[in-house]
Amino acid sequence: MSKYLTRKDLLAVGGEVVAVVRNGEYGSEVSKEFRSREGFYFFVKGSSDWRQVAARFFVGRQRSKQGLDAILSHIRQGRSQLARTMGTNNIEYDVIFVAAKNMKPLTTGYGKGQLALAFTRNHTSEYQTLTEMNRLLADNFKFILQSY
């Protein structure tokens, strides 16, 4: 049985709030360092630990280093139902970044105890893609605005 991924879950694996956005726009200036990281960006409405993740996006290695800027552009342009909803619902989201190297407890190690987690494989294979990690997240958790 899947459960909703929460802000507390993300912070427990080393997630950090890198921006606040509304309708695909930054609430305040965000440094380029935080906007161009490779990994997962989770959008959470509210700052309480129990708040559920509304949506997730990932960014791989890019020459242009667009990262979060590309995600917000996608939202502003309304290229999907998710983007149209997030671009017009006037809700302020905290964007929590989690590096791919910290995703093990949420993907292959999800639901395992500390001992089992220690023996669970990491995502170090050159063939393990961020897309596969994204699918594991979808298998383990539910998201408010995403059904997959």
pLDDT per residue as tens digits for the range 50-106: 999 999 999 887 766 678 999 999 999 998 999 999 999 999 999 999 998 888 778
140, part of any domain: no
**Contact residues for 92 (Cβ-Cβ < 8 A; gap 6+):** 20, 21, 22, 27, 45
46, part of any domain: yes
DSSP assignment of 100-130 equals: GGG-GGGTTTTT--HHHHHHSPPS--TT--H
- pLDDT for 26: 94
* Domain span including residue 35: 3-101
- Mean pLDDT in residue range 22-40: 88
Other beta carbons within 10 angstroms of residue 15's beta carbon come to 24
Give dist(CA 111, CA 27) in Å, integer: 35
137, part of any domain: no
Please give the tally of structural domains in the chain: 1
124, part of any domain: no
66, part of any domain: yes
Helix or strand run (H / E) with residue 58: strand 53-59
pTM summary value: 0.86
Distances (CA, A) of 121 to 7, 105, 134: 24, 10, 16
What mean pLDDT, rounded, does the chain reach?
A: 85
Is residue 115 pLDDT above 60, yes or no? no
23, part of any domain: yes
The band of 108, judged by pLDDT with boundaries at 50, 70 and 90, is low
Q: How far is CA 19 from the centre of its chain?
A: 12
- pLDDT for 148: 77
14, part of any domain: yes
42, part of any domain: yes
- pLDDT for 117: 44
